[in-house]
Chains A and B, each alone.
Chain A
Amino acid sequence: MNVNQQTPMASPYGQPQPGYGQPGYGAGYPAPYAPYNNPASVYQPGAPPQGPLRGPPTSVPAPVSAAPQAYSHYGQGEMQNGPPPGSQAPPRPAVSQPYNQGAVNLSGPPQPYPQQYGAPPPMQQVTNQMTGMQISTGPPTAAGPGYAPPHSSQPPTSAAYSIAPHPAYTQGPPPASMAPSQPPPPRDPAPPQPYYGGPPPPQHPASSASAAPLPPPPSSHQSFPPTSYPGPQAPLPAGPQAPLPPGPQAQPPYAQGPPPPGSQPHYAPAPPHAHGSYPAARGPPPPSQPGPYPPAGPPPTSAPPGHYQGTMPPQPPAGQPATYHSGPPPPRAQMPPSSMAQTNHLPPGPQGPPGPLGPPGPLQQPPPQPGMQGGYPPQQNGAFGQVRGPQPGYPGPYPGQQNYGPQAPAPAAQAQKRLDPDAIPSPIQVIEDDRVKTTEPFTTGVRGQAPPLVTSNFHVKDQGNASPRFVRCTAYNMPCTADMAKQSQVPLAAVIKPLATLPPDETPPYLVDHGEAGPIRCNRCKAYMCPYMQFIEGGRRFQCGFCSCVSDVPPHYFQHLDHTGKRVDCYDRPELSLGSYEFLATVDYCKNNKLPQPPAFIFLIDVSYNAVKSGMVNIVCQELKTLLDHLPRENPEMDSVVRVGFVTYNKVLHFYNVKASLAQPQMLVVSDVADMFVPLLDGFLVNVKESRMVIDSLLDQIPEMFADTRETETVFGPVIQAGLEALKAADCAGKLFVFHTSLPIAEAPGKLKNREDKKLIGTDKEKSLFQPQVGFYSTLAKDCVAQGCCVDLFLFPNQYVDVATLGVVPVSTGGSVYKYTYFQAQSDRERFLNDLRRNVEKPMGFDAVLRVRTSTGIRATDFFGSFFMSNTTDVELAGLDCDKTVTVEFRHDDKLSEETGALMQCAVLYTSCSGQRRLRVHNMAVNCCSQLADLYRNCETDTIINFFSKYAFRSVLTSPTKTVREGLVNQCAAILACYRKNCASPSSAGQLILPECMKLLPVYLNCVLKSDVLLPAADVSLDDRAYLRQLLSGMDVSESHVFFYPRLLPLMKLEGDSLPLAVRDSEERLSKGGAYLLETGLHLFLWVGANAQQELLLNIFGTPSFGQIDPNLTSLPVLDNPFSKRLREIVDAFRAQRSRYMKLIVVKQEDKAELIFRHFLVEDKNASGGASYVDFLCHMHKEIRQLLS
């Protein structure tokens, strides 16, 4: 495999190399680098600066072109890697690069491996790694022969990258010194060189030479540490690398890389094919990249090449983890990144090919390190190259080793520093790449096709499968068997948002009326008519796509078939041609066989002392007056048929009779909270239009009536009971809006006590804090669901209110919880009102039942979200709004066939806001595969993370958070290890290879692990955690994505209509002289650097001085300048995008509030012990290696 890869690599590189023309490196590596660089550059824009850049540029271009292709491949499916037939080779590089880098980084530590893997993994990353590896390979070659040697040599190299790398890393690291392990590094450096020298003497020289230069560069590049790597790779980088003396060493390997050139040739041959994708590496197999991969097997997966470990075997020894750490620690943070980079670099480095890389290097990271770049490219390409080099030496088998070799070198450099953050997979890059790539509308007709990322704008054309706006899957190519699924550990799940709002340019699902008989369904499994039903016998019968049962077509539905066996009216009927549509349900689908009444909204307002004092009561009452004109309706021309009712409460409940015929509203006080009932029927739920006068009068009087209240105690359970009873009495479904302030301590059912106990955090008993305090609410929730009573809870707490318990009902009824801690009328009014407005107005269904049917072979086994289940199949939702999602996990209960794929149909029976009973059906078909590689090519990381986080957040109810965190890490490690083992081309064990489509898995996973729920900071209250926990359960993929990995936009330049390119969530990405906007879906921060330019401040705040900025601003001043205008537009656009209004918080650098802000810089280490991205990647790598060994 390796060989193949390498070869391919070579070829690809070869090509590129040519382009690069550079020295030895140039040839083979360049190409790869270039691509990498590109990506890299993208990622590490900053880095590029280096001289090497130039080189890169050149390379860049190449890559670019390549990139696109690559993307095409990759972009589409991760598949690309594999698939992308040769031609794309270049592109891949690009792609791969990014990945690789990421991968590399990982590999960094493990460098060697990664690289190697990289290589194998047709995946770029892999390749990168590989490259890195290769570099090491160079040495490895030596090693190859006898690992031992390589080891030694590699180690060094690897050291550079990773632990094993120690040596290698160490080398780099030594400086880094970071990790203890590193210490050894120093040696590494030496060794590496030697190694390198040894093996690739020639290179060495070169490298060394380069190295020499490198040192200097480092200074410049420092930040780029990554570059340093490159340094190694490309002499150019050397400059930058300077810091990375080791780098140089590494480089040497790269230098070797150069030799690779020689190898290149080898590669070249292969590459040609491989080109396209890393596979290119496998190029040989190139023909069908997959093919090549196949060898790699997983190769495609390899893409995932997250494998950083170029290091390979050597590393293992080293104990990569250490390396990683070491890597990172050393130089500045960046350095660490560099280490990461190293991984990447390594490859590059090794790649010497760096030459080419060099250029790229510049582009990307520390381009400075051209060398680095070289390194990178090497990794990717280079790696291969190197590998090849080595390969040559080594027969195919060890290619990996080779990788190591190369890596080693790079690693060496890295080792000194930490992984280069710029070298590890960058979410921003991935997002950006996908965004750029997504230009065509996404058509859903093709089975198993992964949709664009949630962060990209795209148009969807429904051609038979549900739009990704409705359904997203973790995998679009499901394993055929349970064994495969178990082996891969990849969760098979779908995130379904049944009532999602579509953009205006997409048609909402059509409403189909099949008449009195109701929707046509399969006789056996009851699946609804859909495009997967096969009409046979001239159209008289149809065969169910799910269970294969043959049913008769009712006469009124009969239609002739055309010559292809399709019904003639196929395209006239939404249910035969579309993925999503609605049926009009008949009375058989209604509760008690009675057509439903229009739903009702009941507003229940806390009027205790706190509520009045905070201004909440006043605001709610004022707002309701206008809000009532915006109740949901299906026909905008008509008045809403939703009826409304009002209740206020403290220790007792006050119902209001607002019958139209009354001159004044009447208040009915119910003090019997122990046994709640509704005191009136007629006059409680009214039509807004008819009772307008009375309602207005009531809303005017409520604040007055309770203005002087001194009642501080509240009840809660009876409040919901009251709403429920009212709906029961009116015999309709509906929604309760509860505005509540405090822990319900008054004597009543559902009374709670304060149980917040910080001492329990981190203990085995912590889970109890997430569980409801009393069983009362669970029972109540059940009753609510039975009646179709959805509860939305707006909390305004000043202290602990036990969200874990209060939230039980909302969460079980499809409702939402909103929390406005320390609510102040002035500052929080806007947020609250916007949330309320949106909540009231949003389209929703009531009394819903959701059922997921699947084709034989898989089964929906687990569900996550805000709902209630009384059996194992029916998801009952008292309310289902357009923002709520249900995540469904599937498990095999039989085999799936590749031919038919796997089908799923999600049917939601609900009552619309006009009281119509409907069925919404979403159909989804995905492919099935018997090769793991195919699985890994078609996964969607964002969705996986969505699933994992929901799973984990639910698990905290039953397990200690520590166990949950470990479980997550283990599963991810298993996924990646499986890929590495089965899909990535063989490479050094020290190399971290990530599948292309999962290369962000570690970074996102880290974000999940660091979330307040799983790893709370000291200042995070139990309520906050419970709140977030519940909140997440209903999030869709785009929300969970930004929630875990916030969007951070630099605001220095706002031009045109496009948004500035986001930067990664790390403090080091922030410039003191700038301002940034950070969005999490819940929070919106405007961070202002202490040295922000006057002009910027003037534009934003209208004040020239940093000191004059009011940190309490909640909205941006309206200034008449294009910048301000655009910024406000952006803020508005962000808000419009999210289901909850984000209050703007201005954070001044060095201000207290910055602590909160920093919490969202998720790539950094956080105060509560959350690992930095780099560290975590290393950790992950270690886990994977353990699994592999």
Chain B
Amino acid sequence: MTTYQEFIQQNEDRDGVRFSWNLWPSSRLEATRLVVPVSCLFTPLKERPDLPPVQYEPVMCGRANCKAVLNPLCQVDFRAKIWACNFCFQRNPFPPSYAGISDVNQPAELMPQFSTIEYVVQRGPVAPLIFLYVVDTCLEEEDLQALRESLQMSLSLLPPNALVGLITFGRMVQVHELSCEGIAKSYVFRGTKELSSKQIQEMLGLMKPAVSGQQGRPAAPQDPSATCRFLQPVHRVDMNLTDLLGELQRDPWPVPQGKRPLRSTGVALSVAVGLLEGAFPNTGARVMLFTGGPPTQGPGMVVGDELKTPIRSWHDIQKDNARHLKKSSKYYDTLANRTAVNGHSIDIYACALDQTGLLEMKCLSNLTGGHIVMGDSFNTSLFKQTFQRVFSKDYSGEFRMAFGGTMEVKTSRELKVCGAIGPCVSLGAKGPSVSENEMGVGGTSQWKVCSLNPSTTLAMFFEVVSQHNAPVPQGGRGAIQFVTQYQHSSTQRRIRVTTVARNWADAQSQIQHIESSFDQEASAVIMARLGVFRAESEEGPDVLRWLDRQLIRLFMFHLRRSPFLQVFNNSPDESSYYRHHFVRQDLTQSLIMVQPMLYSYSFHGPPEPVLLDSSSILPDRILLMDTFFQLVIYHGETIAQWRKAGYQEMAEYENFKQLLQAPLDDAQEILQTRFPMPRYVDTEHGGSQARFLLSKVNPSQTHNNSNGWTQEPGAPILTDDVSLQVFMDHLKKLAVSSST
């Protein structure tokens, strides 16, 4: 028997699932006592190079409210050609195509190694992918130029048959028609007026109400010729669009002194959503918003155009002094839900030095699975490379993106699903396996995940419903099946089915077993997600208190200090940004986010991970810190002096040069794969950018406790935050007192 460690790893590799507990307590009461709920992190599209999709459709249980998919856990009677559903115990005959099934001739889905299997659905129309660029033109010329280039470049990255569209906005919103020759044509919307989807479609000429009515077809908005005007296959309008982007002017309306440019982001998005809604409902589509500032007019306005009124800060929000916050949040929330219903997703690429209103707009991406990328300027590699990476391909040359996914969870009778936390919205599917107890997005057994990539990870929460007095028979297993339907980037519709099972354990008799089946990392991330989810909807301090009550181990200290829960020193936009990524990244990345990694480079040996502690900051070390969002290379005082002196240029100090180079290489490696691109900082002792490091480390030495004469190594931090040591002391005290 392998260790749990291995077991966990194995399961993650195969199914993309990590449970907080790998043995499940057999009754509700015991489960509740465990504090950390039975839950898992599930990565629906975990990359499985070794798993070729099967070219047929899944066999499903015939019971109407079950519809579970045939899986290796099912009991099969090869003779009778019957299988029993392991969720509802319904006995189902195999379909005719399985006539040849036998002990030795089993379909893949019955083999244990195919607990995760992907089917390709052959039926149905093939819908092209759609990319709709929504571009802010209220940019500085330099930024706009960079953006133009990025966009033009992106055309070459798109699948040739993908449909592409362009909406630009500033004071007005322009929907560009791509099909016409000669005169460039665009439809213009006023940036201050909220329009219904129907109005938008009418104004774009997408609806022929009278005609469709006559034909007796329910309003069929799929008038190809009409929609084609705005969304054209890339290969056909490549040149045209390149020119169009090339001629993109800055918003021509004058911006008076002391004013912000008028930016109609809200309307632009609503037009984009309306356009897709009318033309391509339930087809994979990506709205990509590029904005260089906050929406300043119309619905969704985040801040007025008066420069003297600064954009809301956490302080304002706490004082209830953010005028537009509620209204615009609500606006974007409604918009996001509409988008999600249609299976489209919205990306936000916000590049500005000031806030851009991500706080209000975050739901657009959070609910639709879109990306949020935050940068200082479009003219930075952070943006350029991140944007490029959106179109990255996997080992088989397929885009790492999937659209319009729906994920369904089926559970065996002893379990119910409480909810999910991740880039998803509820589909409101009630059923026997839905718990009344909601955690995250609950009350349903199906979620829509409009956009997925191989690292998209949801946290799923379950509830054990067995009564205390009816323990599960020994050796019984609880099973969970995840059925994820999605549109592959090749435009195929696919269904991935993951079926997992865990043993039940009697908490009273097998508490040690359960204890040892605990997955510390998964639990930490799951709890952190829960914390973040609450932080989004509740007051910060309350969440912290809640978290503190939940016990936890070491890195909860860092979580407490992380920007996911602490808003101090972060703008609302930043908080939104960090949280956005936290609730969708896979476990590894999430862990990095919670507790940044710190590597130390020195002449004393190979790079080694060191404690994220101020004591690790030494003069003769180079530190590499990865917080997911930032990649910081910190040169210790001595190293910095050496470097300044130019030793690395001297042949005799080749080793120093190598030392300097090592963290750079490592950083590069990280940069290669990380999405979004982290902020890359190369700094040294005393550098202003060193703050990124100093704010993360455990302040074991601060200006309060470090006396001038102590010889302790490390660097004192200027902070009033408590150090881990203090935290632990308190925690211990609390743990004891609470247990009594």
Contact = CB atoms under 8 A, between A and B. Distances in A.
A677 B186 contact: no
A992 to B, nearest CB: 66
A760 interface: no
A666 B188 contact: no
Interface stretch (B71-79, B199-207, B475-483): B199-207
Contacts of A1091: none
Interface stretch (A81-89, A668-676, A870-878, A1070-1078): A668-676
A725 B186 CA distance: 19
A721 to B, nearest CB: 12
B732 interface: no
Interface stretch (B37-45, B247-255, B685-693): B247-255
Interface stretch (A119-127, A521-529, A678-686, A893-901): A678-686
B184 A666 contact: yes
Interface in B156-173: 172
B186 A667 contact: yes
B377 to A, nearest CB: 24
Nearest to B186: A668
A376 B185 CA distance: 78
A1049 interface: no
Contacts of B247: 662-663, 666
Contacts of B183: 656, 664-667, 698, 701, 705
Contact of A677 (B172, B174, B195, B202): B172
Interface residues of A, number: 26
A701 B188 CA distance: 20
Given A680-B172, A681-B252, A681-B253, A669 B184 contact: no
Contacts of A682: 249, 252-253
B253 A669 contact: no
Contact of B174 (A654, A679, A683, A705): A679
Contacts of A666: 183-186, 247
A655 B185 CA distance: 10
A652 interface: yes
Given A665-B183, A669-B188, A675 B193 contact: yes
A1099 B174 CA distance: 62
Contacts of A680: 172, 188, 252
Most buried by B among A663, A669, A677, A682: A669
B389 interface: no
Interface string A683-710: 1000000000000001001001100000
Contacts of A672: 189-190, 193, 195, 199, 203
Given A662-B247, A679-B172, A669 B182 contact: no
B187 interface: yes
Nearest to B254: A681
B184 A667 contact: yes
Contacts of B202: 671
Contacts of B193: 672, 675
Contacts of A675: 190, 193
A881 B154 CA distance: 55
Interface string B80-120: 00000000000000000000000000000000000000000
Given A662-B247, A669-B185, A671-B203, A683 B190 contact: no
A701 B183 CA distance: 8
B205 A671 contact: yes
Nearest to A670: B188
Nearest to B184: A666
Tier of interface size on chain B: 20 to 34
A680 B247 CA distance: 15
B252 A667 contact: no
Interface string B431-467: 0000000000000000000000000000000000000
A701 B182 contact: yes
A671 B200 CA distance: 9
A1176 B202 CA distance: 60
Interface string B33-58: 00000000000000000000000000
Contact of A668 (B182, B188, B195, B254): B188
A705 B183 CA distance: 9
B182 A671 contact: no
Contacts of B204: 671
Most buried by A among B182, B199, B202, B204: B182
Interface string B629-672: 00000000000000000000000000000000000000000000
B253 A670 contact: no
Nearest to B200: A671
Interface in B573-588: none
Contacts of A683: 249, 252
A652 B253 CA distance: 22
B208 to A, nearest CB: 11
Interface string A467-487: 000000000000000000000
A47 to B, nearest CB: 69
Nearest to A677: B190
Contacts of B249: 682-683
Nearest to B188: A679
Most buried by B among A655, A663, A679: A679
A663 B205 CA distance: 27
Contacts of A664: 182-184
Interface string B202-240: 111100000000000000000000000000000000000
A670 B202 CA distance: 11
A663 B249 CA distance: 13
A670 B252 contact: no
A675 B267 CA distance: 15
A488 to B, nearest CB: 59
Contacts of A681: 252-254
Contacts of A698: 183
Contacts of B205: 652, 671
A663 B184 CA distance: 10
Most buried by A among B188, B247, B249: B188
A682 B204 CA distance: 24
A652 B202 CA distance: 11
A670 to B, nearest CB: 5
A577 B205 CA distance: 65
Contacts of A677: 172, 190
A679 B199 CA distance: 18
A652 B185 CA distance: 13
Between B174, B183, B185, B249, the greatest number of chain A beta carbons within 10 A of the residue's beta carbon is seen for: B183
A229 B731 CA distance: 134
Nearest to A668: B188
A494 to B, nearest CB: 45
A656 B202 CA distance: 21
Interface in B598-651: none
A669 B184 CA distance: 11
Nearest to B174: A668
Contacts of B188: 655, 668-670, 679-680
Contact of B185 (A662, A663, A667, A704): A667
B386 to A, nearest CB: 31
Contacts of B177: 669
Contacts of B203: 652, 671-672
A681 B250 CA distance: 12
A97 B2 CA distance: 136
Interface of B: 172, 174, 177, 182-190, 193, 195, 199, 202-205, 247, 249, 252-254
17 contacts: A654-B185, A656-B183, A664-B182, A665-B183, A665-B184, A666-B185, A668-B174, A668-B186, A669-B185, A669-B188, A670-B187, A671-B203, A671-B204, A675-B193, A677-B172, A679-B172, A682-B253
Given A671-B205, A672-B189, 19 more contacts: A652-B203, A655-B188, A663-B247, A664-B183, A666-B185, A666-B186, A667-B183, A668-B174, A668-B185, A669-B185, A669-B186, A670-B189, A671-B189, A671-B204, A672-B190, A679-B172, A681-B254, A682-B249, A705-B183
8 interchain residue pairs of minimum CB distance: A671-B203, A682-B252, A679-B188, A667-B185, A669-B187, A666-B184, A677-B190, A668-B188
